[in-house]
C-alpha cells in the first residue's frame, strides 16, 4: 500500500468520524428535548389526571383545598410578553435603523456596545430596580396621568383604570420590554448591516428618502432575520422569571385593568415550587411548566410557518 492510498483511507476514516460526530450531536439535542418533555409529562401526571385540559381554563388556585387552574398564570405570561413586544420591537427597530443608517460613524460602536451591555445585566437587578425605583415613580407620575387622560375613552379607559400601586401587569410588561430591547435590536442591526450597499445606493440614486430605502429595500431583504430577532425577544419575554416575580404582583386573581396585580407561569413556579408539599400541588406547577413549553413550541412553529409562507410569496 503506497502513501497515497494510506492517505485516502485516513481521509475517509476522518470523514466518517466527522459525520458520525455531527450526527450524534444533532440527535442528542432531539433526545434531550424529548427527555425534557417526558420528564415534564411524568411530573405533571397527577395534575393531568385530576384536572385534564380543564386546568388550562381554570381560574381557581388554592393549595389548601387542592383546586388548581392555570389560566391566571397563562394569561399573565401572554399579556406581559405582548406588552413587551408592543413596546420593545418599535424601539429596537428605531435603534437598529439609527445605528446602521443615521448615526455618525464615531458614535456607532460605543452606542452599540452600550445597548448590548443591557443584555448582560442580571434579571434580578432589573427586578429590584423595577420594584424599588421604577414602580414608585410610575405610581406617582405616570399611572395617575394615564387614568385621568383616558377616563371615558372606550377600551383605553378600562385598560388604565384602577388604583396606582406601581406594581402590576403594565409595569411587568414595561420592565420586560427593556430586557428584550438589547436582543432584538442587536439582531436587527446585524441583519441590516448585511444589506448590500449597492442596493441602498441605487434606491437613494432614484430619489428615495431614508424611510423609503428602509421600508422598500432594507426590510424586504432582511425580513427573515428581523422576524428571527422578534422571536428571540418573545422567547426571552415568555421565559423571564425573576424580574417578573418582583413587579407583577403575584396575585392569582382576574384582572380588570393593566394596573391590577397578576402573575405569570414563571413567577408562580418561582414563588411556590419550594413550598409545594403535596403531589397534586407539585404536579400542577409542573403542568404549568409543560404548558409554557407548549406555548413556546407553538409560537416558534407559527413563526417558522409564517417565514416559509413569506418566502413562497416572494418566489411567486
Residues of the chain with pLDDT under 70: 1-2, 310-311, 313-316
Residue 10 grid coordinates: 485516513
pTM for this one? 0.88
214 with 124: CB under 8 angstroms? no
3-state secondary structure the chain: CCHHHHHHHHHHHHHHHHHHHHHHHHHHHHHHHHHHHHHHHHHHHHHHHHHCCHHHHCCCEECCCCEECCHHHHHHHHHHHHHHHHHHHHHHHHHHHHHHHHCCHHHHHHHHHHHHHHHHCCHHHHHHHHHHHHHHHHHHHHHHHHHHHHCCCCCHHHHCCCCCCCCCHHHHHHHHHHHHHHHHHHHHHHHHHCCCHHHHHHHHHCCCCHHHHHHHHHHHHCHHHHHHHHHHHHHHHHHCCHHHHHHCECCCCCCCCCCCCECCHHHHHHHHHHHCCCHHHHHHHHHHHHHHHHHHHHHHHHHHHHHHHHHHHHHC
In words, the CATH class of domain 54-315 is: mainly alpha
Q: What is the pLDDT of residue 1?
A: 58
Instruction: List, as own/partner pairs, every contact residues 193-198 make where C-beta atoms lie below 8 angstroms and the sequence separation is at least 24, other chains included.
Output: 193/100, 194/222, 194/225, 195/221, 195/222
Residue 239 grid coordinates: 421565559
Q: What is the pLDDT of residue 253?
A: 87
The residue whose grid cell reads 383604570 is 161
Q: Which candidate, 222, 194, 204, 247, places its Cα nearest to that of 84?
A: 247
What sign does the CA torsion over 144, 145, 150, 151 have?
positive
Q: What is the pLDDT of residue 313?
A: 63
Q: What is the pLDDT of residue 27?
A: 92
Q: What is the pLDDT of residue 248?
A: 93
Domain ranges of the chain: 54-315
Distance of CA 164 to the CA centre of its chain: 27
- Residue 40 has, within 13 A of its CA and on its CB side, a CA count of 16
Q: What is the pLDDT of residue 180?
A: 92
CA angle, residues 206, 209, 215, in degrees to nearest 5: 100
Amino acid at each position: 500500500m503506497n502513501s497515497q492510498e494510506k492517505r485516502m483511507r485516513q481521509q475517509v476514516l476522518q470523514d466518517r468520524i466527522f459525520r458520525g460526530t455531527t450526527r450524534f450531536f444533532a440527535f442528542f439535542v432531539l433526545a434531550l428535548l424529548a427527555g425534557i418533555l417526558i420528564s415534564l409529562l411524568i411530573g405533571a401526571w397527577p395534575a393531568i389526571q385530576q384536572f385534564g385540559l380543564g386546568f388550562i381554563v381554570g381560574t381557581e388556585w388554592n393549595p389548601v383545598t387542592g383546586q388548581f387552574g392555570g389560566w391566571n398564570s397563562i394569561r399573565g405570561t401572554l399579556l406581559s410578553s405582548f406588552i413587551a413586544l408592543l413596546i420593545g420591537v418599535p424601539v429596537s427597530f428605531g435603534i437598529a435603523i439609527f445605528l446602521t443608517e443615521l448615526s455618525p460613524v464615531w458614535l456607532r460602536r460605543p452606542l452599540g456596545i452600550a445597548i448590548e451591555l443591557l443584555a448582560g445585566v442580571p434579571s434580578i437587578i432589573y427586578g429590584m430596580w423595577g420594584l424599588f425605583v421604577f414602580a414608585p415613580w410610575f405610581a406617582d407620575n405616570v399611572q395617575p396621568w394615564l387614568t385621568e387622560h383616558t377616563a371615558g375613552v372606550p377600551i383605553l379607559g378600562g385598560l388604565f383604570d384602577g388604583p396606582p400601586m406601581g406594581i402590576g401587569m403594565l409595569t411587568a410588561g414595561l420592565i420586560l420590554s427593556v430586557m428584550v430591547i438589547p436582543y432584538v435590536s442587536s439582531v436587527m442591526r446585524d441583519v441590516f448591516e448585511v444589506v448590500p450597499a449597492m442596493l441602498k445606493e441605487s434606491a437613494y440614486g432614484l430619489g428615495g428618502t431614508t424611510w423609503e430605502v428602509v421600508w422598500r429595500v432594507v426590510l424586504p431583504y432582511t425580513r427573515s432575520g428581523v422576524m428571527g430577532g422578534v422571536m428571540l425577544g418573545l422567547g426571552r419575554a415568555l421565559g423571564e422569571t425573576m424580574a417578573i416575580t418582583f413587579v407583577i404582583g403575584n396575585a392569582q386573581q382576574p384582572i380588570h385593568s393593566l394596573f391590577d396585580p397578576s402573575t405569570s407561569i414563571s413567577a408562580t413556579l418561582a414563588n411556590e415550587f419550594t413550598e409545594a408539599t403535596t403531589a397534586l400541588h407539585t404536579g400542577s406547577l409542573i403542568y404549568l411548566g409543560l404548558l409554557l413549553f407548549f406555548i413556546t413550541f407553538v409560537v416558534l412553529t407559527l413563526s417558522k410557518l409564517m417565514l416559509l409562507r413569506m418566502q413562497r410569496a416572494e418566489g411567486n
